[in-house]
Amino acid sequence: MDASIESVRSGSFLTALAREESRQDAGWVIRLRTLPDAPETYYLMELMASHEFQTALHNYLDLEGLRSKLAAWKTGLDAFDDMIRLRGVNYEPLLPEVDAQFRELDSRMRLRLEQKKNVGKRLHAMLTAPRPEYLATAEERIAGERLAAIEKKNSDPATARRVAHLRGVLTFRLETEYHERLTAAFVHLKALETDVETLERQYDDFVRARQAATQSYSGYDVTIQRLRRRVEDAAVGVSGLMARQGQMIETVAVHQLAARRERLAAQQTQARYAVADSYDRAARAQGAEEAR
């Protein structure tokens, strides 16, 4: 009993109670047979019969579970911090080149969108004010420029007639095919709008992906530090509560063991008196027998 009391006071009792395998059952039921064979656990069954001890034990084990969760959360925050750091190490070297290419692509895209807008305005204006020369093909424009250059360099009447004839042919083609070409231009403009919509969706997807890449490792420092401080403060509070609750459990255990020790001491004294009385009766009986 003295060894058990001393072991409880040294903290071994609480260590045995808080073992993970001793609280596997629902409702914090202690598996007494799985506890170590040590002085602090010899009289655990009798202690467990006390309602006061059961209540204190349940509270202590709840606090121990909370302490374990807080430790796991702290480890999780450390792992999350490492993961964010590794993401930054991975993305930071890549983003400058990606941003440079994106800026170039962005400027080209904006230029093309502006050109498309101007083309759309021009085509709609041509519905009321026909401009056949605007719908000339690249070959036709080149041919027109070459004819203008020939007209500027040559004053020969024969050459001038041929140039005028060719320009007339070119003008006739542009004017007679004007409506057909204008319709085709609107069809191409509509198809271009579909391509532009696809390009804009890809642009938006890239912007979101770029933001997600940055947001995956930036802006978390303050939040993580705040959560880490909350976990540490909670852990300090739980440790203080566990110390007080553990002291209460140890006090109850020592009180019960001391009471048991006193009962044993009283029983030992009674046993000694009984043995002495037996010796006295035996001695008297033997003396009486010898006197006869």
Measured distance CA(262)–CA(255) in Å, rounded: 11
Looking at per-residue pLDDT, the higher value among 103 and 53 belongs to: 103
DSSP 171-183: HHHHHHTHHHHHH
Q: Is 127 helix (H, G, I), strand (E, B) or coil?
A: coil
Q: Which of the two residues, 25 and 195, has the higher pLDDT score?
A: 195
- pLDDT tens-digit map of 193-235: 887 888 888 888 888 888 887 887 787 888 888 999 999 999 9
pLDDT of residue 28: 37
Q: pLDDT tens, 72-86?
A: 999 998 888 888 888
Torsions phi, psi for 175 (to 5 deg): -75, -40
pTM listed for this prediction: 0.49
Cα 142 to Cα 135: distance, rounded to the nearest angstrom: 13
Cα angle 161-166-169, degrees, rounded to a multiple of 5: 125
| pLDDT reading at 66 higher than 80 | yes
Q: What is the pLDDT of residue 247?
A: 84
Query: Pick from 61, 52, 50, 53: which is nearest to 28 by CA?
Result: 61
pLDDT at 57: 79
Q: How confident is the model at residue 31 (pLDDT cuts 50, 70, 90)?
A: very low
- What tens digit of pLDDT does each residue of 132-173 get? 888 888 888 898 888 888 888 876 788 888 888 888 988 888
Query: Residue 263: pLDDT above 70?
Result: yes
**Rounded CA gap, 95 and 3, in Å?**
68
Has residue 20 got a pLDDT over 70?
no
Contact (Cβ atoms closer than 8 angstroms) between residue 44 and residue 32: yes
Q: How far apart are CA 225 and CA 284, in angstroms?
A: 86
* pLDDT at residue 33 greater than cutoff 60: no
Q: When comparing pLDDT for 63 and 14, which is higher?
A: 63
Helix axes 157-176, 178-215, angle to 10 degrees: 70
* Six token digits for residue 180: 């057909």
pLDDT for 14 beyond 90: no
When pLDDT is cut at 50, 70 and 90, the band that residue 69 belongs to is very high
